Amino acid sequence: MPSKKCDQAAQCPCGSGAAYEACCAPFVRGEEFAQTAEKLMRSRYTAFAKGAEDYLLASWHPSTRPSRVKIDPEQKWIGLAIKSTEAGGVADDAGIVEFVARFKVAGKGHRLHERSLFELIEGRWYYLEGDHL
């Protein structure tokens, strides 16, 4: 019987409650594209938690994409809460996701509260920009 710790490790960091392999892994590995702005938001949080810099760049809108992303190995992502979504569904071409992401650096807790804008381009969602709240 697997231990509880093992079961938790298999859960997706995005907080959906699903296993990583059935949730964000196909997006982070580039095997599938997120079908909604919220799924893209969750997969990007997971990419930060897993250190997947390439996925973060690939899912960033071409007009605002930085030349590189460097993940701080001291930053440990510990939780994501989706506060609200506006549009961003399968029939939309734009959407907004408000979220709070929690992380620790050197044992000290921090929160990133952002209202992020996403845009659909040729059937694929991209993170465009965000306002820190």
Q: How confident is the model at residue 10 (pLDDT cuts 50, 70, 90)?
A: confident
User: Are residues 118 and 41 in contact, defined by beta-carbon separation less than 8 angstroms?
Assistant: yes
By percentage, how much of the chain surpasses pLDDT 90? 92
Q: What does the pLDDT average to over 94-104?
A: 98
Report the candidate in 80, 108, 76, 92 with the shortest Cα–Cα distance to residue 12: 80
* pLDDT tens string 34-48: 999 999 999 999 999
pTM (2 decimals)?
0.91
Average pLDDT, the chain: 93
Q: How far apart are CA 113 and CA 110, in angstroms?
A: 10
In the predicted model, is pLDDT for residue 26 greater than 80?
Answer: yes
For the sheet with 75-87, list strands across it: 75-87, 94-105, 108-121, 124-132
Q: How confident is the model at residue 7 (pLDDT cuts 50, 70, 90)?
A: low
User: Are residues 103 and 78 in contact, defined by beta-carbon separation less than 8 angstroms?
Assistant: yes
User: Are residues 117 and 44 in contact, defined by beta-carbon separation less than 8 angstroms?
Assistant: no
- State the pLDDT at residue 1: 41
Q: Which residue has the tokens 């990419």?
A: 47
- State the pLDDT at residue 2: 43
Domain boundaries 4-132, CATH class: alpha beta
